[in-house]
Structure 1
Amino acid sequence: MAGSWKLVGASLRRHRFHTVGSHCKARTGAEHLWLTRQLKDPFVKAAKVESYRCRSAFKLLEMDARHRILRPGLRVLDCGAAPGAWSQVAVQRVNAAGADPGSPAGFVLGVDLLHISALEGATFLCPADVTDPKTFQRIQELLPGGRADVILSDMAPNATGIRGLDHDRLIGLCLSLLDMAADILHPGGAFLCKTWAGSQSHRLQKRLTEEFQRTRTLKPEASRKDSAEVYLLATQYRGVQGARKG
C-alpha cells in the first residue's frame, strides 16, 4: 500500500500546472483566487490524470496506504460520498467490482444528499440524508448482512461562515454516525471521519476512545495546509451494547 502512495506522488511530480494567466481575466476577486489555487494545485491535475472525480481521492489514498483501512472483501459505507471520489478508491481497494478474481470481492455503499453518477462496483443511495431513520433502514437493507466493516465520512455541513457554529454542526454529524455504528459497524471495524478543530472536538474524541481500541489524528498531504480539517481514524471497534443511541 505504501508503494501505491509513492506512485501517486510520482504522478504528482510528473503532472504540474503551468500558470495560465489568460484564463483568470474578467473574473471577480474571489473567483480569481479560487481559480489560481486550482491551477497551482497538483492534486487537481493528478485527479484528472488518474481519472478520479475530485482531488479528495488522494486524501483517502494516502491515509489508506499508511494505515491499511481498506482491504479486499470488506464492506464499506461511504457517507457524504458525492461526487464519488472516495467511493472510487474504496471500490479499487476492497475489490468491489471484482477486478481481481484471485481476491475476495467487497462492497461499497455511498450515501449523499446530492446526486452521484453511477460507478461500477458501487451502490449509491441518493439523494438521501444519512441521519434520517428511513435512510438508516435502507442502509441496513443494502449492506450485505446489514453490516459494514468500514465507515468513511468526508461529510461537512453547508458552511454558514460562523466558524464555531460550523464546527459544532460537523461534530454533531460525526456523533450521529457513531450512533449509527452501534447497529451497523462490525466488531473490529474502522471509522474514518473528517472534522474541524474546535471547542467540541473533545466530545468526539471521547466517544471514539470509548468505543474503539485505537484512535489517530491524520492530516494527509492533499488536505490543504490552510484548511482546519483533520481526519480521525478509529480502529478495532469494540461495539456498543444495547439499542442505537438517541
Structure 2
Amino acid sequence: MWYSVLQKSHMHTCANLLKKAAHNLKGKSAADQRWIVRQLNDPFVKAAHAYNYRCRSAFKLLEMDDKYKLLKPGLNVIDCGAAPGAWSQIAVQRVNSTGSNEALPRGTVVGIDLQRIAPLDGAHFLSNYDITDPVTHAKLLELLPGGRAHIILSDMAPNASGFKEMDHEKLITMALSLMDLAHTVLEPGGALVCKYWDGALAHLLQEKLSAVFRDVRTVKPKASRKDSSELFFLARSYGEVK
C-alpha cells in the first residue's frame, strides 16, 4: 500500500517542484540549495508526509521488515538513535505496543537518543540518554517486560565531519557498542539491525556480529540513497552460533 502512495507522490509536476524550490532557495548557501532540491525531488520524503511518518527513514525499516518479518505483535523492541522517531513509529504499529488490536499480543517499544524525542503513543522514549552508559542499560532492564528485548534496532550515526574515513570509524565504534547492549538485554534467538557506512572497518563489525548471531547479512533498502555508502547489517538468531 505504501508503495502505491510513493509512486503517486513521484508524479508531481516539475513546475510545482520548481515553484517550491524558487521560494525555498533564496538566500541559501550552495550546499543548502542542493539539499533542498534533493528533498523536493525525493519520493520517499513526499511519501513520509503522506503517511505522517516523522522522516523518510521509516521506509528503510518498512522494506526490511516486509522482507524479513522481524517485527511481530507482542515483541519488545529497542530503537537506538531513535530521534526523530520514524523507526519507533513503524515498530509501534507492528508490535502492537498501543494495544489497538485487542486480539493480538501487546509489545513494547523503547527509543533512546542523545537528543530529545517528541512523545509518541505506544513508545517510551529515553531522551538525552547515552546507549553506552550503564545507567541506560539499567533503565532498559526496568522498562522492558522481563528485562528482555527481542529486537534491537539502530539507525544511529555520528554527526558528519566531512572526513569520510573518520565518520566511518565513528559509526563502526557506535555499532560495536550495541554488542554490550545485546549481551545485557537481548533475548536468545533475538535480532539486531544496525546501520553502518561501508569502509575498511566494516569487516570487523561483521566478524563481531557473526560471533554471536547465527545469520548475519548486509542489506541496502531502496530508501537508502544510491549515492550513499549507507548499509545495514541484519543479524538474527542471537546466541545460536554453532
For the criterion TM > 0.5, the same-fold answer is yes
Q: Report the alpha carbon displacement of residue 165 of structure 1 after superposing the two structures with TM.
A: 1.3
In structure 1, the partner of 2:77 is 76
1:186–1:239: 8 Å Cα contact kept in structure 2?
A: no
Give the match for residue 128 of structure 1. 129
Q: 1:239 to 1:140 in 2, by over 3 A?
A: farther
In structure 2, relative to structure 1, the CA distance for the partners of 1:77 and 1:239 (3 Å cut) is farther
Q: Does structure 1 residue 49 correspond to structure 2 residue 50?
A: yes
Q: Secondary structure at the match of 1:19?
A: helix
1:170 lines up with 2:186 in the alignment: no
Question: Deviation of residue 191 (structure 1)?
Answer: 0.3
Aligned partners of 2:84, 2:17: CA distance in 1, in Å?
27
Q: CA deviation at 1:239?
A: 6.6
Aligned letter for 2:195?
K
94 and 100 in structure 1: CA distance in 2 versus 1, 3 angstrom threshold: same
What are the equivalent positions in structure 2 for 1:31-50 lying under 5 Å apart? 31-50=32-51
Match of 2:17 among 16, 19, 24: 19
The letter of the residue matching 1:19 is: L
Counterparts of 1:57-136 in structure 2, within 5 Å, are 57-136=58-137
1:78–1:153 Cα contact (<8 Å) kept: yes
Size of the alignment, in residue pairs? 234
Give the distance between the partners of 1:29 and 1:163, measured in 2 at CA: 20
Name 2:197's counterpart in structure 1. Answer: 196
Instruction: Please list the CA deviations of residues 28-65 of structure 1 after superposition, one character each: whole Å capped at 9, or x if unmatched.
Output: 21111110000000010100110000000000000000
TM-score, normalising length: structure 1: 0.92
Distance in 2 (alpha carbons) for counterparts of 1:118 and 1:38? 25
Give 1:13's aligned amino acid: Q
Query: What residue ranges of structure 2 are gaps of 5+ in the alignment?
Result: none
Question: Does residue 6 of structure 2 align to residue 8 of structure 1?
Answer: no
Calculate the TM-score normalised by the size of structure 2.
Answer: 0.94
What root-mean-square deviation, in Å, do the aligned CA atoms of Structure 1 and Structure 2 show?
A: 1.2
Contact 2:137 2:184 in 1 (8 A): no
Contact 1:80–1:155 (CA<8 Å) still a contact in 2?
A: yes
